[in-house]
Amino acid sequence: MKNLVSTAKEQAVINIIADHLFHDRIYDGIHTILNAFAPNETDHSLQGVYNGIDNAFALMDIVDEALCGELTDIFYNTTCEPHEIRTVNELAEVIYYSWLKFIKDYYTVKKASQYERINKNTRQRRSIRRVCS
């Protein structure tokens, strides 16, 4: 998938996704190391609050909360899938292009749904006019 990115904005989004993946991997590794040396004690956890994917959504001008939730699910499902070893950049590209496909489908379905609602309302108004005439 290398070199498929055509704009600086797309590359920035992919870099943000890669940064989030990198952060998660380091955070998970440090968490594992901390707990490896004290297995009988309480769980040691870091305050690792970083949400790069929200930054990616902002850069992509995505404000629909339902869509953000779906894209977040795609992000985490993709990172948890069994796959060959990938660099964070390769995985970020896979996630980005999965997002683009989902966004296209999401808005196509949403637009079709709105169109169907408009047609239904138009048919209802026409039938009311016929009854009233």
Q: Is residue 120 part of a domain?
A: no
Structurally, how many domains does the chain consist of?
A: 1
Question: 16 lies in which domain range?
Answer: 8-102
Q: Is residue 76 part of a domain?
A: yes
Q: For residue 32, what is the DSSP state?
A: H
- What band does 5 get if pLDDT is binned at 50, 70 and 90? low
pLDDT tens column, 12-42: 999 999 998 888 878 777 777 777 776 666 6
Find the largest Cα–Cα distance for the chain.
83
Share above pLDDT 90 across residues of the chain, in percent, rounded to a whole number: 35
CB 100 within 8 A of CB 14: no
Predicted TM-score of the model (pTM)? 0.68
pLDDT score of 104 more than 80: yes
Residue 27 burial (CB count, 10 A):
16
pLDDT tens column, 53-68: 889 999 999 999 999 9
Which is more confident, 122 or 55? 55
Q: Is residue 49 part of a domain?
A: yes
